[in-house]
Amino acid sequence: MDKRLIEIRTALMKGAAPAVRELVSACLDKGIPPDRILEEGMVSAMAIIGERFKRDEIYMPEVMIAARAMNAGLEVLEPALVQSGAKPRGKVLLASVRADLHDIGKNMVAMMFRGAGYSVVDLGVDVHEDLILEAIAEHEPDVVGLSSLLTTTLPNMKKTVETLEKADLRGRVIIMVGGAPVTPEFAEGIGADGYAPDSASAVERAAELLAARGQGLA
């Protein structure tokens, strides 16, 4: 692997946010493709962090500072992935569901959508279903993407879909779900319109679902 990408990975694992920012920026200046920086430098670091956390080799504070460094790197990387001047292909509303504080995966999904020319409204983490309802009324998105990383917050994802159903919004928005514990079966079981295992396929799946509704501009 490129030495500079290894440096990003090392800095990210140490949680050195300013160093990650600088290194990502330097790699972009050198012409390293943003998707390589993301996958090889950054996502690989979070995968190692996840393994170490699982084996009790590191604890919450270390994971938190690594996550902060990851998000710092994502901020620098994002403009490089976003097409300039492209007409929005649709509007996507994203949220990590109630009681779920994980946002790295959701932020990557946001970045991929922006990069593909969608406008994105990101409601953040721990978002109550009622707030999602209000945000739909305010922003009128085409797609609502819900993220959950905990088995304990999966019921809140289900609750959110039910809330949108009760408010009669099912015909107006496409509901997509994702996050490590979410499976295609679970997605179907709670009545979501779509599921994707990663951020790149999330964009592809959204485009398919929008095209099926005759809304796709692709």
Tokens of 26: 């330097």
Nearer to ligand B12, 26 or 101 (CB): 101
Using the structure block, give the residue that is written with the tokens 């983490």: 125
- Residue 20 interacts with ligand B12 (CB under 6 A)? no
- Residue 16 interacts with ligand B12 (CB under 6 A)? no
> What single string gives the DSSP state of each residue in 65-113?
HHHHHHHHHHHHHHHHHSPTTPPP--EEEEEEBTT----HHHHHHHHHH
Nearer to ligand B12, 162 or 198 (CB): 198
- Residue 28 interacts with ligand B12 (CB under 6 A)? no
Question: What is the end-to-end Cα distance of the chain in Å, rounded?
Answer: 35
CB of 156 to ligand B12, least distance (A): 11
- Residue 103 interacts with ligand B12 (CB under 6 A)? yes
**Window 128-147: contact mask with ligand B12 (x via CB under 6 A):** -----------------xxx
Tokens of 214: 């005759």
Identify the burial level of 193 via C-beta atoms within 10 angstroms of its C-beta, where 0-12 means exposed, 13-18 middle and 19 or more buried.
buried
The helix or strand, by DSSP H or E, that contains position 129, with its residue range, turns out to be helix 129-139
Nearer to ligand B12, 19 or 103 (CB): 103
CB of 151 to ligand B12, least distance (A): 4
Q: Which of 50, 88, 117, 155 binds ligand B12 (CB under 6 A)?
A: 50
**Measured CA distances, 1 to 16, 71, 94, 106, 218 (Å):** 21, 22, 33, 26, 35
Binding footprint of ligand B12 on the chain (CB under 6 A): 43, 46, 49-50, 53-54, 60, 63-64, 67, 99-106, 108-109, 145-147, 149-152, 176-181, 196, 198-199, 202
